[in-house]
Amino acid sequence: MQRIIEQKIINQTNQALLINVLADATSLSKQVLKSALDKGCVWLKTGKKTNRVRRVKKPLKAGDEVFIYFNERILSSTPAKPELLLDKKDYSIWLKPAGVFAQGSKWGDHCALTRLVEKSLDRQTFLVHRLDRATSGIMMVAHTKQAARELSKLFAERKIKKTYLAIVEGEFQDKTVTIDENIDGKHAISHATLLKYKDDKSLLKIGIETGRKHQIRKHLSSIDYPIIGDRLHGNAEKNYPEDLQLQAIHLKFNCPISNNKIDIELLDTQKISL
């Protein structure tokens, strides 16, 4: 049976080392705890702030609160490696594989793009937009607070053009369809264009004017063209064993740092296809 530990520990003495406090309070060895710390499942509350902590020999004060969220199954996961597409120093653009999270959770961040990029480039990372874990494709990460603010503003103001590919069930009946349907009570617009039909599946090119959660998945399912591999809004478990066939393939925007145009698209060999 795989171990799961969700525990709050209140440190009782000054200058106690984090690794020792964790070892005394749990059944985990120091070797296991070192790996768990690196993978981001330990948090430290000092005063009003609670932050992820990785330093094995972090000295604690009396009254410090330590939280450990240890899930052996999660921590044993091995993420696929993202591919660097463009490095602008203040931010970078990556090909995120399916299965990699945009950011971590309380249970760890070793399978999150932000942490993988941080370790790869040895730079701090800031999330400026998201892709679902099951969605592959182009994703941007900021490396300075200024870049994070400016890029987040561009996304919020819809000044970044985003294009996706999706493979859906059935033959798409129209060349181009605009779906104007609220998502969770918020206005959402998607445009889908048929690129290819084969073996009762359609390859679509999709542009979005808004960025609601699961927007493309929900919109296509709402018009009876669920995405292949969609286990939330489609028929994946019943009909198709594939991973989610949705991919972000193109980003286009004016760089807020240099004001140069950035236009980056995946190569054909990197794209999903029929």
Q: Check residue 274 and report its DSSP letter.
A: -
- Stretch (H or E) spanning 196: strand 189-198
User: Contact 195/205 with Cβ under 8 angstroms?
Assistant: yes
Q: Hey, how many other C-beta atoms are within 10 angstroms of the C-beta on 75?
A: 21
Two tokens, residue 269: 């060999």
DSSP sequence for 123-151:
S--EE-----TT-EEEEEEESSHHHHHHH
Dist CA 223 CA 176 (whole Å): 13
Q: What phi-psi label fits residue 228: left (phi over 0), alpha (psi between -120 and 50 degrees) or beta?
A: beta
Residue with tokens 């607070």: 145
Which one from 64, 90, 109, 132 is the annotated catalytic residue?
Answer: 132
Active site residue 199: no
Two tokens, residue 159: 């000044």
Closest CA to 103 of 69, 134, 127: 127
Dist CA 224 CA 160 (whole Å): 28
Q: What single letter denotes the amino acid at residue 170?
A: G
* Active-site amino acid positions: 132
